[in-house]
Amino acid sequence: MKLKHPNHSAPNDAATRRDIAPVICYPPESLPPVDVAGLRTVRAQATKSGEVLVQPRDAGCIEVPAGAFFRISSVEGAQVGDLNLWNLRDLDEKFYSGKTRALHGTHLSTGDRMWSSFPHMRAMATIIDDTLDWYGFDAFGGSVHDVIGTRCDPYTGRLLSGDNYHYCCHSNLTRALAGHTGLPLHEAERYVHDVLNVFMCTGFARDTGQYFMKASPVRPGDYLEFHAEIDLLVGLSACPGGDCSAEHSSDEAACYPLLVEVFDPGETARAAHEIPAPSAYDRSHGKD
């Protein structure tokens, strides 16, 4: 947290230092372009092949083959969700929220990709449609679908309140992954990772820099839709904070289910999809 009353006075050239223009750390222009229109054309020919209805304060998993599509929808009330992605064939390759944030910004929408962890560093999924893209950034600096938060978890909850709360998104995703894969809970937990906060409205307070949340604008019928770039195991938790207007770990908040649907464009279309190769970086670090 920034000090409201700094201990040190500003130098004479403070204004000059603050006025230096920023430089984007990772310009995305050199990334391969996303053909959103082409993906939507393929999506229009796809048929529904599966679904999981994630219950309030719970999580679920579903498998999505490379070249297929999946959609996360609000179906009953304002509800946010925590999304994890794993390589179906190798759980060690998972979504890397930090690098995705560095490449695409704090909040994701149509045309943005979700990138995987090192050493793979490739696109796992591409967002092809977002019914909340109208929201943009509000007067508080808030927007939806963030990659700046982590996930509500029992460890931080214990630290701040001294309580044991077992329906945090971290715990929900751990149980869902264990149930889907057959892994023991303690092994499944190590694969659960920082998330895409689907539908959540968040930002940073301008006076303190603290992460904030506010009531999500999501309503029944809103959705976020993705194209699977590799074979995926998708995990989603319906956050125990509901629309996160007050708390993100609560038994009192009104919570609703989230629907995850899979749409298959057919074997021919999936076979034509070019699966991104893992990073070609030489891991020998230049040594013989």
Residue 112 lies in a domain: yes
The DSSP-derived string for 128-191 is EEETTTT----TTS-EEEESS-----HHHHHHHHS---S-SHHHHHHHHHHHHH---HHHHGGG
Question: Could you give the CA distance from residue 63 to residue 86 in angstroms, rounded to a whole number?
Answer: 10
89 is a domain residue:
yes
The Cα–Cα gap between 132 and 77 comes to 15
Which structural domain, as residue segments, surrounds residue 63?
A: 34-226+237-272
- Is 125 among the domain residues? yes
Asked if the structure places residue 2 within a domain, the reply is no
Written as tens digits, the pLDDT of the chain (288 aa) is: 565 678 899 999 999 999 999 999 998 888 989 999 999 999 999 999 999 999 999 999 999 999 999 999 999 999 999 999 999 999 999 999 999 999 999 999 999 999 999 999 999 999 999 999 999 999 999 999 999 999 999 999 999 989 899 999 999 999 999 999 999 999 999 999 999 999 999 999 988 899 999 999 999 999 999 999 999 999 999 999 999 999 888 889 999 999 999 999 999 999 999 999 999 999 887 665
> Has residue 128 been placed in a domain?
yes
Query: What is the count of structural domains for the chain?
Result: 1
Residue 29 included in any domain: no
| Interhelix angle 169-181/154-161, nearest 10 degrees | 150
- Is 82 a domain residue? yes
| pTM of the complete model | 0.95
Does residue 17 lie within any of the structural domains?
A: no
